[in-house]
Structure 1
Amino acid sequence: MGFFDKLKEGLKKSREAFFNKIGQILKTRRFDRETRDEIEELLILADVGVEATEYILERLEEMKPEDAFGALKEILIEILSKDNKLNIPDEKPFVISMVGVNGSGKTTTCGKLAYMFRREGKQVVLGACDTFRAAAIDQLKIWAERSGATFIAHMEGADAGAVAYDAVNHAISKGKDVVILDTAGRLHNKKHLMDELQKVHRVVQKLVPAAPHEVLLVMDAVTGQNGLQQAKIFKEVVSVTGIVLTKLDGTAKGGIAIAIAKELGIPIKFIGVGEGIEDLKPFDAKDFVEALLAGDEISESTPANV
């Protein structure tokens, strides 16, 4: 199964619960007040969020398209199309700081990213900067072995900044291409989290002034609007440059991707639709929308006038 088919399968719950119904309405009915209210309710239930929902409905009203369903696709692609490519520097190493709450799939995502870079022929270093959980260190070590990355760690409870320094320093001394830092994900004390993450980044900048080149926030799609609130906190704490949206195959509310892009203004750079090591791919807005609105379950009819 190709990745688009996996993405389509992963978004099946969202499609069946909400977006097929939206498609059916737009393909068969006029876009009047009653229709607008029904679509609004479905979008909100799908975790698209109030801000993005209002924007979508206003755009549909402004456009007055003959093909309202096609117009919806265009609007969603527009919302999701941001600078989705990685900011890779001309000189190596490329340093990525991975942030996110515990349980979001952050450590697993580090391993999958390492595997992706390794398949491109790059030498990768994984730094175990989540020193508060022995399980996180052990888990990252397993992913390093699976992906063929170099693993840098200290003992549980060690200084996270020291681990980050050693990981980047190793990459510089050995001429390696990519450093991925797995940071702690506790949110119960925002100030402590802010201090720790900022310290990790300051330490890394002593070696590579422009680092980290990417700060990727790993979000669990299943958490929906709660995840969006978490993302807002991380955005306040550190300069998040991109989102990695995981576990899309486990939720009926895939609309959260649209809410993220609209409310946070942060590009989605990767999506995960499974547990496999290859089930993380660069985000493509058009593919995502096509999979979300795949019309094979929607009966075709003459588009209604708006």
Structure 2
Amino acid sequence: MNDLLPIILSIVAAIVVVGGLIPVLLKARKSSSTYAGTRDANDPADKAPAGGGTILDDAPGIAPDRTAPGPVVEPADLAVPETDVPDDAAGLELIQVETPAPVEGRLNRLRARLVKSNSILGKGLLALLSSDKIDENVWDEVEETLLLADLGTEPTMQLVDALRARVKVQGTRSPEDVKALLREELIKLVDPTMDRSLNVERKGAHPAIMIVVGVNGVGKTTTVGKLARVLVAEDKDVLLGAADTFRAAAAEQLATWGQRVGVATVRSHVVGADPASVAYEAVKSGIEQEVDVVMIDTAGRLQNKVGLMDELSKVKRVIEKLAEVDEVLLVLDATTGQNGLNQAKVFSEVVNITGIVLTKLDGTAKGGIVVAIQKALGVPVKLVGLGEGPDDLAPFEAEAFVDALLN
């Protein structure tokens, strides 16, 4: 037995030494594998950066002028919690996920906001047409009133000719009869037969793709945020793409709008990143996540800047490598009047506008711009902005709009 004791002790010592070496060898192997390019799934160095998100690879087929890192999806999927922390809140402020107001009947609920537009088109015309004597001077004033309301020359002449003929035939003077005639002719001009529905239905494996464009300062990012609320109120799964990469606050602003209704935003944290790349990644993520609608916010650009307009065309072409663009909405400021027509024509030539969003309609006495734009482009006004509130964007309804003008 005494002879076996040294042998047993030697075996135990060997086991202890080997056991101590195993963790060292495993650690060395892991380190070697990491540097060789095999990442450990639990390695914190591979996790998303602070602020949330997942780094996306560069998209294939993008023009070679891209210099910025890939965009970030925030959050990584659409299953956001009840509350979310915006990047600039540093963990101190929580954004409560809100329930947007119902879309149906929204324009009627916002009727009082059209009081300024009502002042010219409604009260002015009714006062003129209800006078005891309707002579050439009255018709000249009616024509001038309509032109001041930005109705446009051709629609103005069309409306005046129709009213003159009907007043002459019916010989009416009562305010009620005149109002009825005016309502009928205005509704014809606004044209309720135009298709004002948004193309937001999935097509097979692809979500509906929407691009929002316009000049600087018309409120595109805010409009995209409000429109996201409209779609969420209609039970759509939405993904936002912050392709306005030149204005530092634009992506943050859009992400905050999205967080308020539980909608994710694809964006780049690098100012000046290629907008087409961000748009591509947004559509790619939307396809992978099987959302209903991907909305792309673009940078404001002057319609007479050829380079910027070419860049906008590029954004659309790059998106179409993945999916067809279903809706291109042009955001116009109603207070700019006829200048908005010039903007609309150029944008329509570059990206084939499918609908108009008319903002600040509550802040102008020129509601006739609705008719002028539709006549000039053959494109319907689909949405109108009637205030600063988050749910003050309403689907445009021809009859409700005319009734609001005539009160």
TM-score if structure 2 supplies the norm length?
Answer: 0.68
Which residue matches 2:180? 70
1:126 pairs with 213, 236, 240, which one? Answer: 240
Deviation at 1:14, TM superposition (A): 2.0
Which residue matches 1:196? 311
Q: How many residues align?
A: 292
> Which runs of no fewer than 5 residues in structure 1 stay unpaired?
295-306
After superposition, residues 238-253 of structure 1 pair within 5 angstroms as: 238-253=351-366
Deviation at 1:68, TM superposition (A): 4.0
Deviation at 1:88, TM superposition (A): 3.6
Deviation at 1:104, TM superposition (A): 0.6
1:79 pairs with 189, 195, 205, which one? Answer: 189
Q: Is the 8 A contact 2:200 2:292 kept in 1?
A: no
Rounded to whole Å, the distance in 1 between the matches of 2:138 and 2:390 is 42
Closer/same/farther in 2, CA of residues 259 and 207 from structure 1, 3 Å limit: same
Which residue matches 1:179? 294
1:56 pairs with 159, 165, 172, which one? Answer: 159
**AA of the residue aligned to 1:206:** K
Q: Hey, which of these two has a bigger chunk of helix by percent?
A: 1
Q: Please state whether the residue corresponding to 1:219 is helix, strand or coil.
A: strand
Closer/same/farther in 2, CA of residues 39 and 7 from structure 1, 3 Å limit: farther
Pairing 1:214–2:324 present: no
Rounded to whole Å, the distance in 1 between the matches of 2:121 and 2:237 is 43
Rounded to whole Å, the distance in 1 between the matches of 2:124 and 2:179 is 11
Deviation at 1:10, TM superposition (A): 1.6
Which residue matches 1:117? 231
Greater shift, 54-63 or 121-130, is seen at: 54-63
Q: Deviations over 1:192-231 (max 9, x none)?
A: 13211111111111111xx210100011111111222211
> Which runs of no fewer than 5 residues in structure 2 stay unpaired?
1-100, 171-176
Deviation at 1:25, TM superposition (A): 1.9
Deviation at 1:16, TM superposition (A): 2.2
2:402 pairs with 276, 283, 289, which one? Answer: 289
Deviation at 1:89, TM superposition (A): 4.3
**AA of the residue aligned to 1:230:** Q
Q: Is the 8 A contact 2:219 2:331 kept in 1?
A: yes
Greater shift, 223-232 or 84-93, is seen at: 84-93
Larger radius of gyration: 2
Deviation at 1:53, TM superposition (A): 0.9
2:284 pairs with 164, 169, 194, which one? Answer: 169
**AA of the residue aligned to 1:205:** E
Which residue matches 1:25? 128
Q: Is the 8 A contact 2:121 2:405 kept in 1?
A: no
Which residue matches 1:158? 273
Q: Percent identity?
A: 51
Pairing 1:9–2:112 present: yes
Q: Please state whether the residue corresponding to 2:337 is helix, strand or coil.
A: helix
| Structure showing greater relative contact order (alpha-carbon pairs closer than 8 Å, 6 or more residues apart) | 1
**AA of the residue aligned to 2:197:** K
Q: Deviations over 1:240-281 (max 9, x none)?
A: 010001111111222211211222221000111111111111
Closer/same/farther in 2, CA of residues 293 and 78 from structure 1, 3 Å limit: same
Q: Deviations over 1:106-144 (max 9, x none)?
A: 110100111111122221111011111112222112111
Rounded to whole Å, the distance in 1 between the matches of 2:133 and 2:244 is 54
Closer/same/farther in 2, CA of residues 39 and 188 from structure 1, 3 Å limit: closer
Pairing 1:272–2:375 present: no
Rounded to whole Å, the distance in 2 between the matches of 1:26 and 1:146 is 48
Rounded to whole Å, the distance in 2 between the matches of 1:140 and 1:150 is 10
Closer/same/farther in 2, CA of residues 235 and 31 from structure 1, 3 Å limit: farther
Closer/same/farther in 2, CA of residues 56 and 17 from structure 1, 3 Å limit: closer
Closer/same/farther in 2, CA of residues 87 and 138 from structure 1, 3 Å limit: same
Greater shift, 267-276 or 252-261, is seen at: 252-261
